[in-house]
Structure 1
Amino acid sequence: MDTGTGVAQLVCQIFPGVIAFSYSPEVKTRLVLKAFDVIKNECLEYDAGWNDLTQLLMSFQKTTTNSGHQTTCTAGH
């Protein structure tokens, strides 16, 4: 069983529209690229007092995986 599968099953009981997915470097890359797209297109709004979110978003760095074959993002935490 994948990590998170049990959680997805529980959440699906409350929110039937939940779509579970297997996390992988490719999925991580797609999620990060979508987040960058949302931010770039000024579609992200949040309370100006959420300094921790601002700091987190600014901490992401583009790096390569240990194998050096894929690009990934890290946040150093």
Structure 2
Amino acid sequence: MKAVFNAGATSGFGMTTARRVAAAGWRTVITGRRGERLETLKSELPTPCHAAVLDVTDRKAVDARSPGCRRRSRR
């Protein structure tokens, strides 16, 4: 199954993208700064999804988190 890493999924284009790729059958790893919104979106998506609180403007946080995101997207 295909997988997408989706940054900024808590609102706007990021959330719309997460909904569309999930509707197309892709697994997703959704990220954003607001954990509660991520969990709500995760519960609404029709495909397997992993949610991670992550600010993609924080390079150290991205470097620390990305190996785990890649592993989870393959499940």
In the superposition, the TM-score normalised over structure 2's length comes to 0.30
Q: Normalized per residue, which structure has more strand?
A: 2
Larger C-alpha radius of gyration, 1 or 2? Answer: 1
In the superposition, the TM-score normalised over structure 1's length comes to 0.29
Higher relative contact order (CA 8 A, sep 6+): 2
